[in-house]
Every structure is written in structure tokens, then in C-alpha cells.
Amino acid sequence: MARLKLAILISGRGSNMRALVAACQAGSIDAEIRLVLSNQPQAEGLSHAAAAGLATRVLPHRDFASRDDFDAALDRALREAEADFVCLAGFMRLLTAGFLARWRDRMINIHPSLLPAFPGLDTHRRAIEAGVKLAGCTVHYVRFETDSGPIIAQAAVPVLPGDDEASLAARVLAAEHRLYPLALGLVASGRVKVDGERALVDFEGHAGALLNPPD
């Protein structure tokens, strides 16, 4: 399969972007990063991307009169960079149906919950309030409904007695930094096929159970 030409879209800290960049630059993912783009001029991740020698671009959403206008400019920026695949990494903008149709099955996202549980914001608070014993993160293809789309990979972490939002978020984030490169690597090596609303992943694995509390 042809080498992916990636754009990574961020809005803030960019720690997942950095995990993807590190894996690509180490050669463990066969992909070329063409662009790191932020809709927030102040995004901390931009300086990390520039320091890693990557092309960066800011597209402030406030400069555009409508979501359609912003998405048209975003589409142009991606094409100008000759990107053919997009990773959303903490990109805090809802995308229009037209834009998503153009990038269908060529755009993935990471969300800090075990989808379809807890889509949207405040995932960790809601997970703690619900009393779930496993939290985690999901990498999925992007569809119109927020945090929905064919699931490529998930990682689970325990919710421990005494956890608060911050401690759970930190445990999930460490799992995100492992999961996102793993999922992108599967896509880049042609081992993921989208079949309707499911992603079929070709891998060899074990069939053990995750238990929390442990036995």
C-alpha cells in the first residue's frame, strides 16, 4: 500500500501528536507527516511540531464566517500540503458533513473513553460518576456524529478507588500515547479495512480477559 501522507490536526497540548510524530520519525510507522495544523494560534503542540522539523499551519476558526467556510479552507490546506490521510489529535472543532464526506475513511480520531460509552466532553468525570471499573481510549474513523465511527483499536485502564478526574485522565492519556501510534501503524500497513460501520483489523492476538478488580 502507498505510504500515507499525513496531516495531524490539533487545538492544544498536542501530546498525542507528539506520540505520532515520534513513531513516524523512528520509522515504526511507515508514513510521512506533511502538516501539523491548529485552529488555535496558541496551541502548545505547534512549537513541538516545529521543533521536530515539521511544517505547521494555523487556521484560526474565528477568521471564518461559517463552519462551511472554515472547512473549505481546511480542505484547501490539506490538499496544498498533499496530505491524503488525517489524524485528529485533540482537535476541538466539529466538522461539517460535506467535509467529512470528502475525507471519509481517510480521517481518524482518538477519544479518551471506551466508545460507544461516554462520547463528548467530561468523559472522565462521567466515567467516575457511573462507577465503571474500566476506562480507556478509542481510535476510530470519523463520522458525523461526535466521537462515532468504525473502531480501529481500544485500550482499557482500571478505574481505581480514590480516582479523581485528573488521576484517571493521566492514566488514560498514557494509554492514548501507546494506542494512537499502534492504530495508525495498523492503518499505514494496510491491516485495517472499513466494512460499513465496522473496521476489520488483521492482527494476531491473545484472548485473555482484563479484570479489575484483579483476581
State yes or no: residue 14 binds ligand GRF (CB under 6 A).
yes
Instruction: Find the binder of ligand GRF among 4, 7, 8, 15 (CB under 6 A).
Output: 15
Gyration radius of the chain's alpha carbons: 17
Q: Considering only 14-22, 73-81, 153-161, 202-210, which stretch makes contact with ligand GRF by CB under 6 A?
A: 14-22
Interface with ligand GRF (CB under 6 A), residue total 14
Query: Which residues are identified as catalytic?
Result: 111
Category of 118 on φ-ψ map: left (φ > 0), alpha (ψ -120 to 50) or beta: left
The residue whose grid cell reads 476489520 is 200
Query: What are the phi and psi torsion angles at 29 (to 5°)?
Result: -120, 130
Q: Name the residue nearer to ligand GRF (CB basis): 90 or 185.
A: 90
State yes or no: residue 119 binds ligand GRF (CB under 6 A).
no
Query: CB of residue 111 vs ligand GRF: minimum separation in angstroms?
Result: 5
Query: CB of residue 145 vs ligand GRF: minimum separation in angstroms?
Result: 15
Q: Name the residue nearer to ligand GRF (CB basis): 127 or 137.
A: 137
Query: CB of residue 11 vs ligand GRF: minimum separation in angstroms?
Result: 7
Q: Name the residue nearer to ligand GRF (CB basis): 72 or 171.
A: 171
Which residues in the 37-76 window bind ligand GRF by CB under 6 A? none
Read off the C-alpha cell for 38.
491548529
Q: Name the residue nearer to ligand GRF (CB basis): 11 or 96.
A: 11
User: First vs last Cα of the chain: how many Å apart?
Assistant: 43
Q: Are strands 107-111 and 134-141 parallel, antiparallel or unpaired?
A: antiparallel
Distance CA 5, CA 71 (A): 19
Residues 6+ apart with CB under 8 A from 9: 36, 37, 38, 39, 74, 86, 87, 88, 89, 91
Report which residue type is found at 201.
V
What does the per-residue mask of binding to ligand GRF show for 79-118, with x meaning CB under 6 A?
A: ----------xx-------------------xxx------
Q: How far is CA 168 from the centre of its chain?
A: 18
Element (H, E) at 87: strand 85-88
Q: Name the residue nearer to ligand GRF (CB basis): 35 or 110.
A: 110
Which residues in the 136-165 window bind ligand GRF by CB under 6 A? 137
The residue whose grid cell reads 470528502 is 102
Binding site for ligand GRF (CB under 6 A): 10, 12-16, 89-90, 110-112, 137, 173, 176
